[in-house]
């Protein structure tokens, strides 16, 4: 049983006994054993005042103190509302999206910065991503998790060879002005048998160093093509982004393998964008230029990822044929402020516009950031404000539900 989430303290607030047990069971299955339950908003409010929690999963409709009443009650208690720092808050409901949206805002007003909204029944993959997020938000819990043994190279190479333990999730992207679904990014996850879910920042760089990242790229491609085919069966098209480093993309024969997979699938090439991730310094700029130009000529999109954090990014931007800039979340996090990062953020958005490139803001978490990005003319946003990364099935269902199709 993975114990990565063992340090997390989780409170489940749910009036319906069966659903409460199901949620508690799911949390435990994911390896977070420190779970408490409350059957009403009133009970939850008392528990939150006396015990610290990292994550609260809260039902919206409860006869004895519902979600909004609980928030109002916590509001009244001011700084005495939480025994610890405000937890990551997860609303659970079977109701419509707009209800979830308004509840998200309610919790944010209480000073809870990280609010998610999940549809019932809860999906294990999505919940796991949220636990992972809570872990990184909680320094003490993260320190405990980090002190556990990290997976070794043998485990990693075996996982990549068989592919069984690797999965690809999809984080939706939205048109900032209209709120329409505008695309998604494919992100890799590794489910280790004892360590639990491991995020890519912890193993992709190591794979690159071992020169073994190509299978992960091709797995991402295959999953994107599967998703595209499922959407196309319903007449829906959503552009998808796949991450790849310069080292992987320039490997001999890789581009041919990739393009052959796409051709065999029947998916139009313009529905895929390759995101060039931080593989800096670029060892062979000429090979990279040839590869990216070939991708463009074939009809694929090419994005420069994490723009603003690498050293060579301005030069790369000047020299290479990008179609999209992905603005790094460390800048986006400050877009609504007055500091230097806000100035840089504004200028990068202007730069993208002047160069005729699509601009995608990463890590958008608050309504204030969204409003600032809208005012600056940034076209597309991605982040927890809209959605965490979703398992393929959940993403396809969500995309189909949102798709505007011509009337039959």
Question: Interface residues with Ca ion (CB under 5 A)?
Answer: 243, 275, 305-306, 326, 362
CA 38 from centroid of its chain's CA atoms: 29
Find where tokens 């047990």 sit.
21
In whole angstroms, the minimum distance from the beta carbon of 403 to ligand C2E comes to 22
Q: Which long-range contacts (CB under 8 A, 24 or more apart) does 260-263 make?
A: 261/218, 261/221, 261/222, 261/225, 262/221, 262/225
Select the binding partner of residue 171 from ligand C2E, Ca ion, none (C-beta < 5 to 8 A, by kind).
Answer: ligand C2E
Interaction partner, residue 301 (ligand C2E, Ca ion, none; CB < 5-8 Å by kind): none
Contacts of 156 (CB under 8 A, 6+ apart): 190, 203, 206, 207, 210, 212
Nearer to ligand C2E, 38 or 390 (CB): 390
Residue 109 near which of Ca ion, ligand C2E, none (CB within 5-8 Å, type-dependent): none
68 versus 337: smaller Cβ distance to ligand C2E: 337
Q: Which does 365 bind (CB under 5 to 8 A by kind): ligand C2E, Ca ion, none?
A: ligand C2E
Binding residues for ligand C2E, rule: CB under 6 A, are 171, 187-188, 199-201, 204, 213, 216-217, 220, 243-245, 277, 305-306, 329, 362-365, 382-384, 389
Minimal distance in Å, beta carbon 168 to Ca ion? 13
- Distance of closest approach, residue 86 Cβ to Ca ion, in angstroms: 27
Indicate the residue whose CB is closest to ligand C2E. Answer: 383
Minimal distance, residue 76 CB to ligand C2E, in Å: 29
Instruction: Give the C-alpha distances (Å, rounded to integers) separating 270 from 106, 246, 273, 303, 375.
Output: 39, 20, 7, 13, 28
**Could you tell me if 28 and 22 are in contact, meaning their C-beta atoms sit under 8 angstroms apart?**
no
Task: Look at residue 188 and give the partner it binds from Ca ion, ligand C2E, none, a contact being a CB closer than 5 to 8 Å depending on partner kind.
Answer: ligand C2E
For Ca ion, the closer CB: 117 or 188: 188
Please, what is the minimum distance in Å from the beta carbon of residue 243 to Ca ion? 5
Q: Which is nearer to Ca ion, 58 or 227 (CB)?
A: 227
61 C-beta neighbours (distance < 10 Å), count: 14
Beta strand 181-192 pairing with 196-198: antiparallel
Q: How far is the CB of 132 from ligand C2E (least distance, A)?
A: 8
Q: How far apart are CA 219 and CA 160, in angstroms?
A: 10
Query: Residue 38 or 115: which CB sits closer to ligand C2E?
Result: 115
CA atoms of 210 and 278, how far apart (whole Å):
16
Nearer to ligand C2E (CB atom), residue 9 or residue 329: 329
Which residues are bridge partners to 191 per DSSP?
197
CB of 228 to ligand C2E, least distance (A): 16
Q: What's the alpha-carbon Rg for the chain, to the nearest Å?
A: 22
**C-alpha angle with apex 190: 186 to 191, nearest 5 degrees?**
130
The entry of Ca ion, ligand C2E, none near residue 216 (CB within 5 to 8 angstroms by kind) is ligand C2E
356 Rama sector, left if φ>0, alpha if ψ -120 to 50, beta otherwise: left
**Minimum Å distance from CB 213 to ligand C2E?**
6
From the list ligand C2E, Ca ion, none, partner contacted by residue 187 (C-beta under 5 to 8 A by kind)? ligand C2E
Decide whether 164 or 201 has the Cβ nearer to ligand C2E: 201
Q: Which is nearer to Ca ion, 189 or 326 (CB)?
A: 326
Interacting partner of 200 out of ligand C2E, Ca ion, none (Cβ under 5 to 8 A depending on kind): ligand C2E
Q: State the minimum distance, in angstroms, from the CB of residue 1 to ligand C2E.
A: 23
Q: What contacts 197, CB < 8 A, 6 or more positions away?
A: 2, 4, 128, 129, 131, 132, 189, 190, 191
Nearer to Ca ion, 90 or 187 (CB): 187
Kindly compute the dihedral angle of the four CA atoms of residues 222, 224, 227, 228, in this order, to the nearest 10 degrees.
-110
Cα dist from 312 to 97, 285, 320, whole Å: 41, 11, 12
């Amino acid at each position: 049983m993975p114990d990565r989430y063992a340090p997390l303290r989780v409170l489940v607030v749910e009036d319906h006994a069966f659903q409460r047990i199901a949620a508690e069971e799911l949390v435990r299955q994911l390896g977070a054993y420190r779970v408490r339950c409350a059957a009403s908003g009133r009970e939850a409010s008392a528990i939150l005042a006396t015990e610290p929690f990292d994550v609260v999963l809260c039902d919206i409709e409860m006869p004895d103190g519902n979600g909004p009443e609980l928030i109002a009650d916590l509001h009244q208690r001011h700084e005495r509302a939480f025994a610890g720092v405000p937890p990551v808050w997860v609303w659970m409901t079977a109701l419509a999206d707009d209800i979830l949206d308004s509840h998200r805002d309610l919790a944010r007003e209480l000073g809870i910065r990280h609010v998610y909204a999940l549809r019932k029944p809860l999906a294990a993959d999505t919940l796991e991503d949220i636990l992972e997020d809570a872990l990184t938000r909680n320094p003490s819990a993260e320190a405990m998790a980090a002190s556990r043994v990290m997976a070794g190279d043998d485990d990693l190479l075996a996982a990549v060879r068989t592919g069984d333990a690797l999965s690809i999730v999809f984080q939706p992207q939205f048109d900032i002005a209209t709120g329409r679904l505008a695309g998604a990014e494919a992100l890799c996850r590794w489910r280790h048998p004892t360590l639990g879910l491991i995020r890519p920042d912890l193993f992709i760089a190591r794979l690159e160093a071992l020169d073994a990242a190509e299978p992960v790229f091709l797995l991402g491609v295959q999953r994107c093509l599967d998703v595209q085919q499922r959407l196309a069966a319903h007449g829906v098209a959503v552009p998808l982004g796949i991450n790849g480093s310069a080292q992987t993309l320039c490997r001999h024969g890789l581009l041919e393998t990739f393009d052959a997979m796409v051709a065999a699938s029947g998916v139009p090439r313009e529905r895929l964008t390759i995101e060039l991730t931080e593989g800096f310094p670029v060892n062979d700029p000429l090979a990279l230029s040839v590869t990216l130009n070939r991708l463009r000529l074939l009809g694929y999109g090419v994005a420069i990822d994490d723009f603003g954090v690498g050293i060579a990014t301005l030069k790369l931007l000047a020299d290479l044929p990008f179609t999209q800039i992905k603005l790094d979340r460390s800048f986006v996090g400050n877009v609504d402020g007055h500091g230097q990062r806000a100035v840089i953020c504004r200028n990068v958005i202007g730069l993208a516009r002047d160069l005729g490139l699509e601009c995608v803001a990463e890590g958008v978490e608050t309504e204030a950031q969204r409003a600032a990005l809208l005012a600056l003319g940034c076209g597309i946003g991605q982040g927890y404000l809209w959605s965490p990364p979703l398992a393929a099935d959940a993403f396809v269902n969500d995309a189909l539900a949102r798709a505007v199709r011509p009337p039959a």
